[in-house]
Amino acid sequence: MNAFMRHEAEALSLSTPYLLFLGDIDQPSYAKTAFGLVDWAPDLCVGEWSTAEGAVSAGLARMDPAEARSRGARSLVIGVANPGGVIPDTWVAALVEALDAGLDIVSGLHRPLSSIPELEEAARRGGRRLVDIRVPPKNIPVGTGRKRSGKRVLTVGTDCALGKKYTAIALHRALLARGVDADFRATGQTGIMIAGKGIPMDAVISDFEAGAAEVLSPDAAADHWDVIEGQGSLFNPSFAAVSLGLLHGSQPDVFVVCHDPTRKEIIGVEGFPVPSVEEVIDLTMRLGSLTNPKIRCGGVSLNTSSFDEGEAARIMKAESDRLHGLPVADPMRGGRLFERLVDSCLA
């Protein structure tokens, strides 16, 4: 536990505010780190910067590192979560420019910043820091499956990058607003940047995945809730391993299924259809019951960002009716439907 607490303290030392770097990506789903910071920590964001015309925008003022530094920015955050967590060679010159302008670089990608000689040299030259978020704490134990005290809710998904983090943060804030003792447990790079603490679950060695989840959500008071950010999907051929380890280790009392009704194919791979909500509920129940036989589904978080308010309401009602009255809501829209979802989680 002490090793985990030291990791949390290190995460809190990030220099803020941020300039968000979007590189040359042209798919919004790969910019979820930038979008997450803008949506949940806008006070930490000064502007954005990209290296190519037509790159994805997070909706902030565009500025280069020198201008951002003059406006108060202290770190450049790589706002990208791309397949494999790579830093392309085409980004290196831009990152060196940021270091030379006086900014630290904060990355949640798998490739360590210090493994790039140009960045190491520029950081040393300017006295700047290279901060890798995706570094798990040392001495993580193997999972035991021991039943822990307290209550837990986990967000799971039909796929990656469709709202698990947003749903967890929204649920956490809703619980606090009701006076419920609750913690948000971050498991990914953006969540850790927002919360200032957590464990990057996809950087943990598989044998210790469940143990890391147990460390992340320890014994607590009987009326305390941990709201745990989900990762990956049990149906994603690339990332199902992290989802299963997190499910077993967090041993949730309740899970919420996150789904984007416009998505038909698993992101990043061809030929794998997005599963139905019912399939996710069934598999999560069967696998999750290994460490918590009383696991149940609290409802569905539907990503309706592609629809106007009227169409979104119609879709959510139809989905709830199809699922025999199970609560269905979009946390970003809030309102009565979301409060019903919160009620169901607490029931």
Q: Is 201 within the bounds of a domain? A: yes
Residue 144: inside a domain: no
Q: How would you classify residue 139: left for phi > 0, otherwise alpha for psi between -120 and 50, otherwise beta?
A: left
Q: Are residues 300 and 164 in the same domain?
A: yes
**Do both 322 and 278 map to the same domain?**
yes
Same domain, 121 and 181: no
Residue 139, number of CB atoms within 10 A of its CB: 11
What confidence score (pLDDT) does residue 126 get?
A: 95
Distance CA 207, CA 311 (A): 44
* Separation of alpha carbons 323 and 230, rounded Å: 22
Question: 102 and 190: one domain?
Answer: no
Q: Which pLDDT does position 140 carry in this prediction?
A: 94
Please list, in sequence order, all residues whose beta carbon lies within 8 angstroms of the beta carbon of residue 305, skipping any fewer than 6 positions away.
Answer: 330, 332
Structural domain ending residue among the three candidates 101, 132, 163:
132
What DSSP letter does each residue of 204-223 carry, written as one string?
Answer: S-GGGHHHHHHHHS----TT
The Cβ of residue 66 has, within 10 Å, a number of other Cβ atoms equal to 15
Residue reference for tokens 């979008």: 35
Query: Would residue 193 count as lying in a domain?
Result: yes
Within a domain: residue 275?
A: yes
Number of independent structural domains in the chain: 2
Instruction: Please check whether residues 125 and 229 belong to one and the same domain.
Output: no
CB contact at 8 A, 185 and 220: no
Distances in whole angstroms, Cα of residue 199 to Cα of each of 2, 140, 186: 14, 10, 7
Based on the fold, state whether residues 69 and 10 are members of the same structural domain: yes
* Residue showing tokens 């930038």: 34
The reply to whether 49 falls in a domain is yes
- Tell me, yes or no, whether 118 and 204 share the same domain: no
pLDDT average per 10 residues of sequence, the chain (347 residues): 37 77 90 91 94 89 97 96 85 97 94 94 96 89 97 97 94 98 94 87 94 96 98 96 97 98 93 97 98 98 97 97 97 96 97
Which residues does 150 contact at the CB level (< 8 Å), separation at least 6?
A: 217, 219, 220, 221, 222, 224, 225, 226
Same domain as 239, residue 157: yes
Domain that holds residue 87: 2-132
Note whether 161 and 294 are same-domain residues: yes
Indicate if 200 and 297 belong to the same structural domain: yes
The answer to whether residue 114 sits within a structural domain is: yes
Q: Are residues 214 and 336 in the same domain?
A: yes
Is 210 a member of any domain? yes
* Pairwise CA distance, residues 228 & 165, whole Å: 9
Question: What letter represents residue 29's amino acid?
Answer: S
User: 17: cis peptide before it, omega within 30°?
Assistant: yes
- What pLDDT, on a 0 to 100 scale, did the predictor assign at position 10? 37
So what's the pLDDT on residue 4?
Answer: 40
Q: Is residue 143 part of a domain?
A: no
Of the candidates 242, 241, 275, 237, which has an alpha carbon nearest to the alpha carbon of residue 258? 275
Question: Residue 330 CA to chain centroid, in angstroms?
Answer: 17
158: CATH: 3.40.50.300
Task: Classify residue 226 by its DSSP letter.
Answer: E
The CATH number of residue 111's host domain is: 3.40.50.720
Distance CA(124)–CA(143), nearest Å, equals 39
Give the pTM.
0.84
**Is residue 195 domain-shared with residue 331, that is, in the same domain?**
yes
Q: In what order do the strands lie in the sheet with 130-132?
A: 45-50, 18-23, 75-78, 104-107, 130-132
